[in-house]
Amino acid sequence: MRVVFFLLVFAFAFSAQSFGQVDAECPEIKVLGPSRIVMPGGKAVFVVSVTPVKHDAVLQWTVQIGDREGSIESGQGTAKVVVSTTRKDAGEEIKARVVITGLPSDCSNFASDSVVIDSLIEGQPVDEFGDIDSDDMRARLDSFFVELQNNPKHSGFVQVYIDDEEGFDLGNKRIKLFVEHVRFRNMDITRFQFGVSRLGIRSMKLWSVPPGAENPNCDGCVLINGKDLK
């Protein structure tokens, strides 16, 4: 009888010890970053996986972009966070770190992952000229059109600087000549945008702008979209 009692006690103790080991099992924590390239000004999604799942665990995310604290747009406290970026973050690294509370004290309770934001894509100036005669301007535009034909996904941005005697609209002779020459060469007018600024001089600067890039800085200018000229 004593032997049976001893065996029952030993079995219970072993079972309790085994249960305790299972309960104290440390989960595997992984953070997975974006599966796509993060563009400047875009969003980055980070997801944490915990195996086995700990339903009572509390998650706390921190995000660093370069040397500044990142902005968590949504998902704090959940398994997925969305991080906002700006165009100024181009080329910077995003590091997302999650800390999980509620795990056994001897378990590692954090994980992280990082991703580099893509470099900023910028347009390239192709030509710049002052107040030249009409034939010379057409020749310069032809070279510009060849550049765009060689890069069919690029758009054309035209910075038009005017003096006090010129207008901001299509009544401007230089803009009118440009539009007429686009049509003469059977170019797609919707590929072009004009930014008109009063600078006290007559000048044009021609840009080839790749997809995903913003137009050159044109603060205070009047924009004329080619798609409105069809």
For residue 214, the domain's CATH number is 3.30.1330
Do 142 and 216 belong together in one domain?
Answer: yes
Cα–Cα distance list, 175 to 26, 110, 166 (Å): 69, 60, 10
- Residues in the chain, pLDDT under 50: 1-23
Do 131 and 197 belong together in one domain?
Answer: yes
> 166-185 pLDDT, tens per residue?
888 888 999 999 999 999 99
* Residue 141 placed within a domain: yes
Do 106 and 161 belong together in one domain?
Answer: no
User: Of 89, 116, 143, at which residue does a domain stop?
Assistant: 116
CB atoms within 10 A of CB 209: 22
User: Of 91, 116, 141, at which residue does a domain stop?
Assistant: 116
Residue spans of beta strands (DSSP E) within 5-143: 28-32, 43-51, 58-65, 68-69, 71-74, 80-84, 93-101, 110-116, 124-129
Q: Which of 78, 72, 87 is nearest to 38 (CA)?
A: 87
Residue with tokens 């001893």: 6
What is the DSSP secondary structure assignment for residue 131, as one 8-state letter?
Answer: S
- DSSP β-bridge partners for residue 189: none
* Residue 152 placed within a domain: yes
The number of domains in the chain is 2
Do 97 and 158 belong together in one domain?
Answer: no
Do 106 and 167 belong together in one domain?
Answer: no
Domain of 153 in residue numbering reads as: 124-229
Position 50 scores a pLDDT of 94
Our CA dihedral for 47, 52, 56, 60, rounded to 10 degrees, sits at -30
219: alpha, beta or left? (left if phi > 0; alpha if psi -120 to 50): beta
Do 199 and 146 belong together in one domain?
Answer: yes
Do 133 and 214 belong together in one domain?
Answer: yes
